[in-house]
């Protein structure tokens, strides 16, 4: 069953975040993940959520998603993202 990372990211340091943006796609691809949404325009239909930069990643399953997230390749990028953004991430199992 597919699994998804859903992220809402507010970039606070665009120059620093550029390094993350350049390096992260290769780590996602290495774990057979793919972008479904990558910062496109968002329109709130209900509620009071105001997403800034929405990202949705798809992986084959939750185990593969967690392998990517905990990988030696991605771990240093988490630190860059934490330093250059305010982020909210959730892992969601598909149906």
Encode pLDDT of 29-63 as tens digits: 999 999 999 988 889 999 998 889 999 999 999 99
Question: What is this structure's pTM?
Answer: 0.92
CATH annotation of 3-42+51-93: 3.30.70.100
Longest dimension (CA), the chain: 39
């Amino acid at each position: 069953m597919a699994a998804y990372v859903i992220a809402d990211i507010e970039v606070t340091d665009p120059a620093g975040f550029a390094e993350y943006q350049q390096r992260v796609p290769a780590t996602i691809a290495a774990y057979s993940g793919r972008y479904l949404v990558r910062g496109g325009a968002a329109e709130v239909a209900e509620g009071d959520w105001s997403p800034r930069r929405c990202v949705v990643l798809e992986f084959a399953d939750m185990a593969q998603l967690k392998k990517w997230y905990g990988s030696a390749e991605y771990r240093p990028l988490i630190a860059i993202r934490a330093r250059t953004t305010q982020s909210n991430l959730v892992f969601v199992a598909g149906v």
